[in-house]
Amino acid sequence: MQTLRQLCKDKIALTSLIVVSSYLFMAVAIEAYEYSCLNRGITPIYARDNMKQRFTPPSPANLMGTDYLGRDVLWRAVAGSATAVKVGVSAALISAAIGVTLGVVAGYFGGKTDEFVVWLYSTFASMPTLLFILAFALLATKGFLCPSIATALNRFAVGINSDPGMMAVYVAIGITGWVTLCRVVRAETLKLREAGYVQAARVAGASHYRIIIRHVLPNLFHLVIIYFTLRFAYAIMIEVMVSYLGLGVQLAPSWGVMISDGQEGLWRGVWWEVAAATGFMFILVLALHLLGDALRDALDPRMKNR
């Protein structure tokens, strides 16, 4: 609550929080609407085409115009927020889980464990991240993954109402984006394990698991929140780039797909589809970065002491 009150005092932070919350609400509403349409056997409004209204410019009937199939661009941009939120949340959760687990284990136990984790994140840090994500998405969308992994991805995709291309992006961003958080968590854990209350708990006979859960992780929580917010924004931008290249989202509305579809009409003055997708993405990513900075100021003890 104290953090929330501090955010409310900052107009920029409060505005960013409202914007991010609005996108989350849109994503949940779109998902609920899509499930409802699926159960009733009707086509969602953002997928309804009308070839007689192709490339209609913005008007009162279609506030952001229509695309090459006559679909409403505004509704497709709104529906794209669901894809962006699912990608951002899923990828950030995967990255945070891997980064925190490895960072805490390495920092707390040290020795060979620490050496192995350092070698592991150094190896991942040397990989070209975008190329890895593109390669993994290509393998998933073109059916080149081994049957067991492909089956697991397909089942998970069905469970969260996604397609295999989206799942490939979730996993690829998640397993390549944990390095920075792991480094920070490891360094912080190295300091925390020498703290007086941790030493006292160890002398009192507390298990390693209990010490990590009760004394180490709570003091790392602010790092996870800040990282999660920034990784959320990064995952959205990566998804847009991958989908733009035709290797990400295949079926669901996506800002990357909209930009890819709309670029061909730019030379004819059909600018509204690209503008809508870019605008929606820009607003969300900017709000996430501003919110991340505000959370850092509110949660980081070193910032509070300045």
What CATH code is carried by the domain that includes residue 209?
1.10.3720.10
Q: Could you read off the pLDDT of 241-282 as tens digits, one per residue?
A: 888 877 777 677 889 889 988 888 888 888 899 999 999 999
Closest CA to 73 of 257, 223, 212: 257
Residue 145 domain flag: yes
Residue 120 domain flag: yes
pLDDT band per the 50, 70, 90 thresholds, residue 2:
low
Residues spanned by the domain of 176: 2-48+69-304
CB 258 within 8 A of CB 276: yes
Q: Could you read off the pLDDT of 86-115 as tens digits, one per residue?
A: 888 888 888 999 999 999 999 999 889 999
Looking at every residue in the chain, the average pLDDT score rounds to: 84
Closest CA to 186 of 99, 103, 98: 103
> What one-letter code names the amino acid at 140?
A
| Helix spans in the chain (H) | 2-9, 11-40, 73-109, 111-125, 129-141, 147-159, 164-176, 179-192, 196-203, 208-211, 221-244, 255-262, 272-299, 301-304
CB 253 within 8 A of CB 30: no
Tokens describing residue 29: 């509403």
Residue 76 domain flag: yes
Q: Could you read off the pLDDT of 8-36 as tens digits, one per residue?
A: 777 888 899 999 999 999 999 998 998 88
Q: How far apart are CA 100 and CA 292, in angstroms?
A: 18
Q: How far apart are CA 260 and CA 244, in angstroms?
A: 5
Residue 57 domain flag: no
Rounded to an integer, the average pLDDT of 223-252 is 83
Residue 187 domain flag: yes
Rounded to an integer, the average pLDDT of 37-52 is 86
3-state secondary structure of 200: helix
Query: Mean pLDDT: which of 39-43, 65-69, 77-81 is highest?
Result: 77-81
Helix pair 221-244, 255-262: axis angle to 10 deg: 30
What total number of domains does the chain contain?
1
According to DSSP, residue 57 is labeled: P
Determine phi and psi for 28, rounding to 5 degrees: -65, -40
Q: Find tokens 């690209």 and name the residue.
A: 274
Determine phi and psi for 72, rounding to 5 degrees: -70, 120
Tokens describing residue 235: 């995952």
Residue 59 domain flag: no
Per-residue pLDDT at 120: 92
> What one-letter code names the amino acid at 21?
S
